[in-house]
Amino acid sequence: MIQTPETQLFDYPKFWAECFGAAPFLPTSRKEMAKLGWDSCDIILVTGDAYVDHPSFGMAIIGRMLEAQGFRVGIIDQPDWHSKEAFMALGQPNLFFGVTAGNMDSMINHYTADRRLRHDDAYTPDNLHGKRPDRATLAYTQRCKEAYKSVPVIIGGIEASLRRIAHYDYWSDKVRRSVLFDAKADMLIFGNAERPLVEVAHRLANGESIDHIRDIRGTAFLTKEALPQWSGLDSTTLDTPGKIDPIPNPYGADDMGCELGSKFEDAPVNQKPQVVEVKPAGAGRKPKPWEKQYILLPAYDQVRADKVLYAHTSRIFHMETNPGCARALMQRHGDRFIWLNPPAIPLSTEEMDGVFGLPYARVPHPKYQGKKIPAYDMIKTSINIMRGCFGGCSFCSITEHEGRIIQSRSQESILNEIEEIKEKVPGFTGVISDLGGPTANMYHLRCKSPKAEATCRRLSCIYPDICGHMDTDHTPTIELYQAARKIPGIKKILIASGVRYDLAVEDPRYVRELAQHHVGGYLKIAPEHTEEGPLSIMMKPGMGSYHRFKQLFDKYSKEAGKEQYLIPYFISAHPGTTDEDMVHLAQWLKQNNFKLDQVQNFYPSPLANATAVWHTQKNSLHKVTHKSEDVPVAKGGRQRRLHKALLRYHDPANWPLIREALSNMGLSRLIGTSANCLVPPAGAGERKGRGQGAGRGRAQPALSKHTGLSQFARDEGRGGDAKPARRKGGKPGAGKPSGGASSGKKRSDSAAAKPGGRPTKRRSPKG
């Protein structure tokens, strides 16, 4: 069983400034501080987002959480990072600066999956671009240090969390150091920060130096040597990466040009660093999960130089994410180490209720004077009912940040928030746009075995199949939906978060409740692909699960007298995807009359499993050696454009590229005017320069319509997840049965239905 923290989140003695009470808004200027009677701030939070006092914005949660502990908290939002002046606007904080890039990674916020500059920012008033720098965590930390050199700086949020060890950086196409080295901050807090940050704040307030705070879960810091009384394990004893040519010693000298660098081939693989004690695996009794044990990872210089070691490191890192059994991690960068304590203990239901029950104003700060903030407009009537995801989709970083253990709120807390929305949100129309989280239907779903939950190291609880220990009873979710839609004044409760359909089919009652009461005409789900190769790297289910869900969805929609459709998400150019895989997916789309207006190319976000595969071309989901077969990866710009074009096979602007590729693959038979062809021959019905939105301005939301069950009927006749019969010129279109996740992560380039509304229908052509 996962241990209970020594002090619950709201059980700390309040700091003396509690006497000031809760502020209407956390102050963003000296004038606002004066109105509150403050002469200084105890803690100043710096964020790359506009300040919206809503529990969907990280800084609002952290700020209100620290305020509830009795601290005076100020916010510096979207400061001018070109000088230190903006960082001195609230004066010197008494305890520390807390720095985050915002709700999104700043690089993903700025650039598309094809590294093209975006021209908007949904977290900025009037959707303006340019209000935060690239790598905002680094820039903000530097200015805080310039403003007040002696004040500790603690970094956190999604950007810092996913860069906590040496990591592949897509934008520079190289392996970068841990962000803590580049930022020169005093501490990094990874994951959801409430528990570790509250403890750090109280200990600093009690006079402890930040240099001496080394034992808090969920924190990372720099050190010259391993912590005293901790025993170490060499990561290669846990998962030997195999002989590497030339053989580097990942735990000797790190400099490729140092004295030992020329002797790597002769260096013993398990040579001990002088500053740490490394014991071979299995020595003595088996270590207990809660004992003080750390894993020494290959050094930064080694993972930068050797992709096999990078894949190995990624594999070890992802095995150490369960807070019940995770060990500390240690990685050398030059003459120092980054030390990562085990992840923080998840919040209990009572603690989650406390966090979401804080006195949020639920609107943007008044200083914006009514300017539109698109991210707020999207979520102002949505409610986060849980955290975490046990799906383990390799392209998604939710697990690396929030963890696999689901942390759910009580039904009472959620219903109370609906009442608050009715009272506080201007212009509320009676429609709740979402009751969800990373995945809509994981509310209160957890491992049924406390022992298994505390010791399991699986990357996914539902891949390749649903674990026998996993609870799939959707009763709490169904009862929540039913109670929410009965509240007076509520016209509709919509579900906008992604639905995990392979879980949903385990409890058809949930599909019925969803289809009959909570869909505004369209429901988004995420098959991601149809082919076994990419699906196995994605850790996603085969298409049989999709067809079973669709059968239930159509059945219950019809019973309710509603015409409703599924909006599918697919990823192009994902690691493991060949050109032929994309052709087969395009054939499946055409066969089922899908037309996608906007599609998503794979985006290698930091620390995700799929990103490690992208960088190394090795399948780090399994043991990796130098003999491991290379995974196909679409890295070239032309190939990525082709994969994306094949998802929009119906767009004339894409036909020349598709024709050329089909000819090169020996699939010219798919060029023609018959129903089995993918694109017409050159000149046949082509509207030169008038493609349907391709390459012209801003793409419209995806409107995909599924018009029949022909494919389902064929698959069902062959056993559901069985591969469908071969089509002329194609290979099977569905993989083996497996479990995967519908990621609730918001994708910048993916299609999304407008919450609370029904998109205009578009007819899909036959053939």
C-alpha 593, offset from chain centre: 31
β-sheet bridge partners, residue 570 = 528
β-sheet bridge partners, residue 96 = 43
Binding-site residue positions for [4Fe-4S] cluster: 389, 393, 396
- The residue to which tokens 């002797």 are assigned: 263
Residues 426, 380: Cα–Cα separation, whole Å: 10
β-sheet bridge partners, residue 98 = 45, 154
Amino acid found at 431: V
Amino acid found at 116: R
The torsion of the CA quartet 719, 721, 726, 727, rounded to 10 degrees, works out to: 110
Binding-site residue positions: 389, 393, 396
Per-residue DSSP letters for 579-609? HHHHHHHHHHHHHTT---SS-EE----TT-H
C-alpha 391, offset from chain centre: 12
User: What Rg, from alpha-carbon coordinates, does the chain have?
Assistant: 26
> For the chain, what's the residue count?
767
Residues 9, 13: Cα–Cα separation, whole Å: 11
Who's near 82: CB < 8 A, 6+ residues apart? none
C-alpha 347, offset from chain centre: 19
Amino acid found at 104: M
Element (H, E) at 315: helix 307-319
- The residue to which tokens 């209160």 are assigned: 444
Residues 419, 484: Cα–Cα separation, whole Å: 10
Amino acid found at 395: F
Q: Of 746, 762, 751, 748, which Cα lies nearest the Cα of 598?
A: 751
3-state SS, residue 295: strand
Strand ranges, E, within 550-694: 565-572, 600-601
β-sheet bridge partners, residue 601 = 572
- Six-digit token pair at 164? 């906590």
